[in-house]
Chain A
Amino acid sequence: MKTRLRKWRLISLFAIMTLILAGCGEAKLSALKPAGEVAQKQFDLMVLSTLIMVVVIIVVVILFVIAIVRFRRKDGDDSIPKQVEGSHKLEVIWTTIPILLLIIMAIPVVTYTFELADTSAMEVKDKDGKTKDAVVINVRANLYWWEFEYPDYGIFTSQDLVVPTDEKVYFNLKASDVKHSFWVPAAGGKMDTNVDGVNQMYLVFDSKKSNEAQNLFYGKCAELCGPSHALMDFKVVTKSKDDFNSWVTSMQTVAKEPKVAEGELAKQGQEIFNKSCIGCHAVSTSGNGAGMGPNLSNFGERERIAGFLDHTEENLKKWIKNPDDYKPGNTMAGKYGKLTDEQIDALAEYLLNLKVEGSKHID
């Protein structure tokens, strides 16, 4: 009976902790609303460690409160308390119990550390040299934008990462200028993109959880990388496996024959683009140009302008006009001379019509 009571207490404490931890935050970017296996494991570890630590705090606080309330000096009390040297028994107790608690914690910590580092599926290649059973994405972090390459499909995109749900998505991470860090809080912890080597990790996006977040997660740069570090956001668009496959197919179509602009204004825009922008920005999905700027082949379908501004024509124009006003320290400003308002209008028209999935349009 007594043990059951204790068990019940433990469970209710556990429930309260879960409630407190999960109670807040936005589904699209909170580590407390795990959207897949990786984040879930990390969340479980958080709950376990928080629980142990709350127990420790409660014990400390109880002893502490008793000590300061009971042994308060009364006015005019001049007595000298007994000078206690210490207690061997107590020392042993408060050495042993923390060690036991830590062992309880250390076991899942070590297990998960190894599990989450297991990217062996990336190494299994078929006869064409493509990854056999896994989606692999090469992430390249730049001042202040993200490039996503799907090496097995031969396509590039940037800023919006598109992933299939309910399977492990593997990442190769590197940076091309300074160190950044790749973080999708809802899907799992971060990993640094170093300048001197490639890091590997995987994430899982649960389809149900993705639906709750409207199939859109927020990604962040988590390592100070310069003035616009705070604005180096990206978005993760989740699709079911079938939708993902059809997205890949349409991306591959654009790779073969880059889009020709339709309409007078857009055509003008394309001309300007080919003169001023193409040195850095690719518009076909098969390559990343010189790797200097984000690939724009599906720009019209992006979630944001420059990774963080609302996706509107007005914002796009403002951005092209003076990027430094919005993302200080970016590498685009000053690279393409001064454009007139008419030229910017044409360019915006062209860019916003760069779409891969024909039927979709921007709002």
Chain B
Amino acid sequence: MSTYAKKQGFGATLWDFMTTVDHKKIAILYLISGGLFFILGGLEAMFIRIQLAVPDNNFMSAGTFNEMITMHGTTMIFLAAMPILLGIMNAVMPLQIGARDVAFPFLNSLGFWLFFFGGVVLNLSWFMGGAPDAGWTSYASLSIHSQGHGVDFYVLGLQISGFGTLIAGINFLVTIINMRTPGMTYMRMPMFTWTTFVVSALILFAFPPLTVGLTLMLFDRMFGANFFDAAAGGNTIIWEHLFWIFGHPEVYILILPAFGIFSEILATFSRKRLFGYSSMVFATVLIGFLGFMVWAHHMFTVGLGPIANAIFAVATMAIAVPTGIKIFNWIFTMWGGSVRFTVPMLYAVSFIPSFTMGGVTGIMLAAAPADYQYHDSYFVVAHFHYVIVGGVVLGILAGITYYWPKIFGTMLNETLGKFTFWFFLIGFHLTFFIQHFLGLWGMPRRVFTYLPGQGWETSNLVSTAGAIFMAVGVIILLINIIITSVKNVRVGNDPWEDGRTLEWSIPSPPPFYNFKQLPLARGLDAYWIEKMEGKKEMTPAEPLGDIHMPNGSIIPICITIGLFVASFGALYNMDADKTWTVPVIIIGLLITFGSMLIRSIKDDHGFHIHKEDLMDDKDKEVKA
């Protein structure tokens, strides 16, 4: 403990977080920055709904509206949903498998900082000549045509944060494969760990195509290449393929962790093990696998021909089968259980019908000929918000509430939580249900306004009203977080009382080394097994001994800042009046590669917590 003595003061805390390689602190960093971006994306959503509340509205200009929708989509997917989920994974997964940290703590920190600075680059566009305006899909012909530097910010921001995500994916895969505690076989891993595992594999294989797509666009826009310039032999459809080869697995990257969170919550608050665990695992893997086979269903109207359309339509429908398996298994987890409606459970329960509705419209969209009608209309907007808000965001809200005590050591207020829940749920259905019909009534998506007299007025107003409900829900959540943090009532190991997995067997928040002795997992729901035998703690799998821990490091930030600097050189490279761009790129890359060199040349073996210190710790606990 001595090497880790608590320093005082804001500066020290800040330095601690900037250099930390502890997965739990990195998780907090992910949650805070993801939360901030979520609020930003939410504000953008509100502005969009205000503009569309009435026909012919002048709340904002057409150009600004396009920037708004682009930034809303990009922010929510890349900078809010994914980082928050990565944060929960970071906080929980190592605890669930009984590990003391992730496999590569240094890379974990690097991954976070890359994501964070990528997000900063993207959002700086608002203050530096305009945000990207070609949609979050940034289809090539429009994004090449787009004036100003908005799309350049998109390309570079996503490129940088994409590297971060890729690193996180590899890190989690290795952690789960190599660092499970004794007895924790693959088929004893908690469902959330399983989904983390599959999602990490999806990240590993889905992000490289995006990297390539972004690189091609970067070369086109900033270095005069011709990939997407039809006049020079280029082809814009290449972008669409690369984007969706990434983009569809991305949907599963978002939803599978949410599935994992709900599986944990439903089992916990039904006091019953997850129904059909092995088929749930199988379904998760299958969804992940099929996720790579269906990207062209986003491109039914591109003109790929009937053979491709038919194949991708049928392949897409096939995904409904494993997803259906999951839905029924969740229901049957509650069946025969003892269901307690805490706030996380409310989210989990409401998720089932909400997500089912998003799922079935997914099947409707898979019907290629009918999709010609749905495509790029508000029907699609409704569908993916049902899946992402009704699945991912409810999952995030549930996960945050459920794991809050484990991460911060204090419980969010349940009453306020219920207010958030009801406002959010009602607002969500109010906002998006009607949009299915708007789409069928001929309203295309991404329109900055619409003319009166097309039968869309009332529905749009209803939709905007719903959005306000959701905003109120989120505001209550923020109030709840503030009140909870100020009160700071500490809780014990298992604050929900029905915890089943290893993370609930250790203090909240856990000590920085997580487990004094690695626990022995004797089956699925390892902690539950011990509890049922009347024990309070896990059976240790090793004698008490020295624990090896990694040192913190500032180098991840240095590596990232190099890329941050270089990206501004690349951004303005095509401007004839700026001669400083190439030197800036070189300086930035020198900082990055120099920091990497320092990292690889400097010896850093970490440190040991000595057995005696751990014993002291225990004695103190006993006395207190």
Contact = CB atoms under 8 A, between A and B. Distances in A.
Contacts of A87: 275-276, 332
A97 to B, nearest CB: 8
B455 A49 contact: no
Interface string A314-353: 0000000000000011000000000000000000000000
A73 interface: yes
A332 to B, nearest CB: 16
Contacts of A73: 271, 338-340
Contacts of B230: 195-196
Interface stretch (B113-121, B300-308, B406-414): B300-308
A109 B313 contact: yes
B331 A67 contact: yes
Interface in B290-332: 301-303, 305-306, 309-310, 313-314, 317-318, 320-321, 324-325, 327-329, 331-332
A260 interface: no
B363 interface: yes
Highest count of chain B CB atoms <10 Å: which of A39, A94, A183: A94
Contacts of B278: 86
Contact of A228 (B62, B271, B329, B370): B62
B447 interface: yes
B373 A189 contact: yes
A85 B279 CA distance: 11
Contacts of A24: 437, 441, 455
A41 interface: yes
A3 interface: no
B246 interface: no
Interface in B408-449: 437, 440-442, 444-449
A5 interface: no
A308 B341 CA distance: 52
Interface string A29-45: 11110000001011001
B279 A91 contact: yes
A225 B448 contact: no
Interface string B329-347: 1011011111111000000
Interface string A164-200: 0000000001010111010101101111101111011
Interface in A64-87: 64, 66-68, 71-73, 77, 79-87
A56 B355 CA distance: 13
A49 B367 contact: yes
A214 B28 CA distance: 61
A224 B321 contact: no
Given A53-B360, A220-B444, A42 B369 contact: yes
Contacts of B65: 227
A39 B372 CA distance: 10
B352 interface: yes
Nearest to B147: A329
A15 interface: no
B373 A82 contact: no
Interface in A239-283: none
B349 A68 contact: yes
B506 interface: no
A232 to B, nearest CB: 9
Interface stretch (B84-92, B138-146, B218-226, B577-585): B138-146
A89 to B, nearest CB: 11
Contact of B139 (A46, A109, A185, A223): A223
Nearest to A98: B324
B368 interface: yes
Contact of B339 (A61, A68, A227): A68
B270 A81 contact: yes
A154 interface: no
Contacts of A220: 442, 444
Contacts of B376: 181, 183, 190, 222-223
Contacts of A189: 301, 369-373, 375
B273 interface: yes
B356 interface: yes
B451 interface: yes
What is the predominant secondary structure among interface residues of chain B facing chain A?
helix
Interface stretch (A111-119, A128-136, A204-212, A354-362): A111-119
A61 to B, nearest CB: 6
Contact of B310 (A25, A57, A110, A222): A110
B161 interface: no
A81 B272 contact: yes
Interface residues of B, number: 90
How many interface residues does chain A have, given as a range? 35 or more
Interface stretch (A99-107, A145-153, A155-163, A284-292): A99-107
A30 B442 contact: yes
Nearest to B308: A113
B321 A95 contact: yes
B66 A227 contact: yes
Interface in A4-62: 21, 24-26, 29-32, 39, 41-42, 45-46, 49-50, 52-53, 56-57, 60-61
B448 A230 contact: yes
Count chain A CB atoms within 10 A of each CB in B325, B353, B360 and give the residue with the most. Answer: B360
B63 interface: yes
Contacts of A228: 62
B236 A60 contact: no
Nearest to B364: A49
The interface residues of chain A, by DSSP majority, are classed as: mixed
A25 to B, nearest CB: 4
B62 A110 contact: no
Contacts of B61: 227, 328
From B235, B276, B373, residue with most partner A Cβ within 10 Å: B373
A90 interface: yes
Given A45-B369, A50-B364, A91-B276, A183 B444 contact: yes
A1 interface: no
Contacts of A53: 360-361, 363-364
A195 B134 CA distance: 16
B102 to A, nearest CB: 31
B332 A95 contact: no
A123 B104 CA distance: 61
Given A32-B440, A57-B360, A60-B327, A230 B303 contact: no
B141 A179 contact: yes
Interface in B133-174: 133-135, 139, 141-142, 145-146
A195 B231 CA distance: 9
B565 interface: no
Given A95-B321, A191-B303, A90 B328 contact: yes
Nearest to B459: A24
B142 A46 contact: no
Interface string B124-135: 000000000111
Contacts of A230: 62, 444, 446-450
B141 A175 contact: yes
Contacts of A71: 270, 334-339
Contacts of B145: 177-178, 226
B310 A196 contact: no
Given A189-B371, A308-B451, A91 B325 contact: yes
Contact of A25 (B309, B324, B328, B455): B455
B357 interface: yes
A67 B335 contact: yes
27 contacts: A25-B442, A26-B442, A42-B370, A52-B363, A53-B360, A57-B360, A68-B334, A71-B334, A73-B271, A80-B338, A80-B532, A83-B273, A85-B276, A102-B318, A102-B320, A109-B368, A112-B369, A114-B310, A178-B142, A181-B375, A191-B301, A192-B302, A199-B302, A221-B444, A222-B375, A224-B135, A229-B448
Given A26-B441, A227-B62, 20 more contacts: A60-B327, A80-B271, A81-B338, A84-B275, A85-B276, A90-B276, A91-B276, A94-B325, A94-B328, A95-B325, A102-B317, A113-B313, A179-B141, A190-B373, A192-B303, A194-B237, A222-B377, A226-B146, A227-B65, A229-B448
Give the 5 A-B residue pairs with the shortest CB-CB distance, closest first.
A189-B372, A230-B447, A86-B276, A53-B360, A29-B442
